[in-house]
Amino acid sequence: MSKIQMTTPIVEMDGDEMTRVIWRMIKDILLTPYIDLKTEYYDLGLEHRNETNDQVTIDSAEAAKKYGVAVKCATITPNAARMTEYNLKEMWKSPNGTIRAILDGTVFRTPILVNGIVPYIPTWTKPITIARHAYGDVYKNVEMQVEAGSTAELVMTDKDGNVKKELIHEFKNGGIIQGLHNRDESIESFARACFNYALDLKQDVWFATKDTISKKYDHRFKDIFAEIYENEYKDKFEANGIEYFYTLIDDAVARVIRSEGGYIWACKNYDGDVMSDMVATAYGSLAMMTSVLVSPDGKYEYEAAHGTVQRHYYKYQKGETTSTNSVATIFAWSGALRKRGELDNLSELVNFADCLEKATIKTIEDGVMTGDLYSMSKLEDKTKVDTEGFLRAVDERLKVIL
C-alpha cells in the first residue's frame, strides 16, 4: 500500500512528560506507517522553551497563522516547583495563553462519546461543545479592598477629556470592589468564531448571559451576537437547517441538563471556565475531551484538553507500566489531518482521519481500554491495557477499517 501524500505541512507543536511519550508513539504506530507525514516541527517541551527564551512558542503560533492548521501536545505551565525541576531562567508563561493571544481564538471543547461510558446525565446522548470566550471580564479585573468610610466610584475619561462618574457604593463599613471590562472587537470575534464553527459542524448555537441584571455589560454581548447573526449568518444558518438561540444563563443551564446534547454552547469567559469542567466531568473524563482553538480568520489549532499527566510520567521514568489514555491526543491529530485534508482537497487524508477515529472508538467499544476508562466502563467484557498496548490495539482495527 502506498502512503497517503500531503501537500501543505501541519504545524506540529511537541510538548512535555507523558503526553510527549504518547505523541511519539502515536506518530510511530498510527500515522507514519500510513501517511507521508508533512509537518513543520516546533519543540514546545519546557527545556527547549527555556533554551529559546520561549521564542519557540511565538514562532510556532506564527507558523499556525501561516499554514492554518496546527496540532499541539500538552505542555507544562511552569510554577515554582517546575522552576527548580527544570532549572528555568524564568517562569515562562502558559504556551496555550501565548498561542491563544497570537491567534485571537476561541476554544471549543467536545467530549468523545463511546458505548460503555455512560454520562452522569443519561439524556446526553450527543456531545455538547463548549465555546469559551477567552478574553476579559473577571480574568482581566482590577479589584480593591475597601476601608470603612470610603466612597467607590466608576470613572471614565473619554478621548476629549470628558469625565463620566457613577457611584458604586458609599461604604459605612469595610468591603470589596471590582472593575471589569471587555472589548467590542473581542466579543465580535467570539461571535463569528462560534457561528463559523456551527456551520462547520452543522449544529445549533446556544448563547446566554445575565442581561436582565447586567443591562449594559451583558446586554452588549447579547446585542453584538444578535447583530452579527442577523447581518452575516442568518441566511447561511437557515440554508443549513441550524439555529441561533439566545436565553438567560440560568434558563440555559436548566435546558442543557434536560437536553440530549448535539449543539454548541457559547459561554462568556467565566461561565465557560466553570461549565466546561462540569460538562467534561458529566461525560466521563478529561482524557476523552477534544479541544480546538479557532481564530476569527479560520486558523485551527487542535489539542487534548488534559495536561501532561505528570504522575504517570514519573512512573514511566522509573520503568513502571503506565496505562495512560491517548484518545484525546489521537483525536487532536485526526482533527488536524482532517482539516488539512479539507483545506487541500485531499479526500484520502480526510478518510484516514475518519478511519482513525472509528478505529479508536471501536477499540474501546470492543472492551480494550486504558485504566481510567476501565474503572468507568459498564461493558461486561473488558480488558485493561498499557499505554502502548492500547495504540497497538487501535492499529489492528485501523488496518481492518482502511
Binding residue for ligand NAP (CB under 6 A) from 57, 203, 259, 324? 324
Stretch that binds Mg ion, among 60-68, 77-85, 268-276, 281-289 (CB under 5 A): 268-276
Which of Mg ion, ligand NAP, none does 273 bind, CB closer than 5 to 8 A by kind? Mg ion
Rule CB under 6 A: say whether 399 interacts with ligand NAP: no
Question: Which DSSP string corresponds to 66-128?
Answer: HHSEEEE-------HHHHHHTT-SS-PPPHHHHHHHHHT-EEEEEEPP-TT---SSTT--SPP
Judged by CB under 6 A, the chain residues 271 through 310 that form the site for ligand NAP are 286-287, 303, 306-310
Residues 6+ apart with CB under 8 A from 345: none
74 binds, among Mg ion, ligand NAP, none (CB under 5 to 8 A by kind): ligand NAP
- CA separation, residue 204 to residues 124, 209, 291 (Å): 16, 17, 18
All three cell numbers of 360, joined, read: 479508536
Grid cell at residue 190: 467570539
The listed partner (ligand NAP, Mg ion, none) that binds 294, CB under 5 to 8 Å by sort, is none
Which amino acid belongs to residue 97? G
Write out the three cell numbers for 333. 491529530
Q: Strand 106-111 relative to strand 289-294: parallel, antiparallel, unpaired?
A: antiparallel
Candidate residues 188, 204, 273, 366; the one interacting with Mg ion per rule CB under 5 A:
273
Build a one-symbol-per-residue string for 233-272: x at contacts with ligand NAP by CB under 6 A, - elsewhere.
Answer: ----------------------------------------
Q: Which does 143 bind (CB under 5 to 8 A by kind): Mg ion, ligand NAP, none?
A: none
Does 307 interact with Mg ion (rule: CB under 5 A)? no
Site stretch for ligand NAP (CB under 6 A), options 75-83, 138-146, 170-178, 258-266: 75-83
Only segment of 203-211, 232-240, 276-284, 385-393 that touches Mg ion (CB under 5 A): 276-284
Contacts of 170 by beta carbon, 8 Å cutoff, 6+ apart: 150, 151, 152
Does the footprint of ligand NAP cover residue 314 (CB under 6 A)? Answer: no
Decide: is 20 part of the binding site for ligand NAP (CB under 6 A): no
Count of beta carbons in the 10 Å neighbourhood of residue 201: 18
200 lies in the site for Mg ion, by CB under 5 A:
no
All three cell numbers of 187, joined, read: 466579543
Q: Which DSSP string do the residues of 190-253 spell out, in sequence order?
A: HHHHHHHHHHHHT--EEEEE-TTTSTTHHHHHHHHHHHHIIIIIHHHHHHTT--EEEEEHHHHH
Binding of Mg ion at residue 270 (CB under 5 A)?
no
- Using a 10 angstrom Cβ sphere, with 0-12 exposed, 13-18 middle and 19 or more buried, the burial of residue 328 is buried
Number of Cβ within 10 Å of residue 65's Cβ equals 18
One character per residue 284-303, x = contact with Mg ion (rule: CB under 5 A): --------------------
- Of the pair 206, 313, the CB lying nearest ligand NAP is at 313
Cβ-contact 252, 265 below 8 angstroms: yes
Nearest approach in angstroms of CB 98 to Mg ion is 19
Of 15 and 341, the one with the shorter C-beta distance to ligand NAP is 15
Q: Kindly report the CA angle at 328 between 266 and 258, in degrees rounded to 5?
A: 40
The yes or no reply on residue 77 touching ligand NAP (CB under 6 A) is yes
Among 104, 218, 271, 372, binds ligand NAP (CB under 6 A): 372
CB of 309 to Mg ion, least distance (A): 17
- C-beta of 273 vs 342, nearer to Mg ion: 273
Nearer to Mg ion, 200 or 273 (CB): 273
The residue ranges that bind ligand NAP (CB under 6 A) are 74-77, 96, 286-287, 303, 306-311, 324-325, 372
Residues that bind Mg ion (CB under 5 A): 273, 277
